[in-house]
Amino acid sequence: MTLTATTSHTVGPYYHIGLTWLNREDLTVAQTLGQRVAITGQVVDGNGQFVNDAMLEVWQANAAGKYAHPEDDQDKPLDPHFEGFGRVPVDAEGRFRFTTIKPGTVPGLNGTTQAPHLVVLVFARGLVKHLLTRIYFDGEQANETDPLLACVPEERRATIVSKPDASGVYQWNVILQGTDAETVFFDY
């Protein structure tokens, strides 16, 4: 028997047309515990052109640092009003905005502590596989000892650390390719 290899395809556009019921710009409800934060930005390519068909998938711990996942066996409270997950599509100019809570610290490998962060998967045309990155929060003391952030060269860390503007809204952009400005993406 001879088998034919499956052809390679990019990751879309099915995520926009088939899963829109998962899209939400507010990952919280009125009863969600923790400090609410808004995060806004834009997805652009290496030429600075906006990517108008991207989608961000956000995963995170709750305000106490516990994931809503059966494998998280930490002795921390689970917030029944927070899933820690959301999908955020971009608009026609590649912009996005979502509201969530600032997560607590979570354990890392070998007894380390990870700073508050969001795990972000980026889906967009032209990608054979989604990209994985993180959003950290500027000014967090735990950033100084976060084991993953420490692996990122200091001059590149700004690509994964969001900064609040004058109104307190965190700014963070996704740059899909380029040199120093490209967002740091992680293998997994």
Q: What are 141-184's pLDDT values in tens digits?
A: 999 999 999 999 999 999 999 999 999 999 999 999 877 789 99
Give which of 75, 174, 61, 76 is closest to 123, Cα–Cα.
174
Q: What is the mean pLDDT of residues 4-8?
A: 62
What's the CATH number of domain 14-175, 1.10.600.10, 3.10.50.40, 2.60.130.10, 1.10.10.10? Answer: 2.60.130.10
Among the listed residues 134, 110, 114, the one whose alpha carbon sits nearest the alpha carbon of residue 122: 134
Cα(34)–Cα(52) distance, rounded to whole angstroms? 32
Buried b or exposed e, range 35-54, using 16+ CB within 10 angstroms: eebbbbbbbbbeeeeebebb
Which pLDDT score is estimated for 12? 54
Domain ranges for the chain? 14-175
Burial letters 67-83, b for 16+ CB under 10 A, else e: bbeeebeeebeebeebb
Is residue 40 over pLDDT 90?
A: yes
| pTM (2 d.p.) | 0.89
pLDDT at position 176: 94
Residue 9 has pLDDT above 60, yes or no: no
Q: Which amino acid is at 107?
A: P
For the chain, what is the mean pLDDT? 90
User: From CA 22, how far away is CA 10, in angstroms rounded?
Assistant: 21
pLDDT at 16: 54
Please give the average per-residue pLDDT across 25-49, as a whole number: 95
pLDDT, tens digit, 9 for 90 and up, residues 83-119: 999 999 999 999 999 999 999 999 999 999 999 999 9
10 pLDDT exceeds 90?
no
Indicate whether 43 pLDDT > 90.
yes
**Helices first, then strands: H and E counts in the chain:** 2, 11
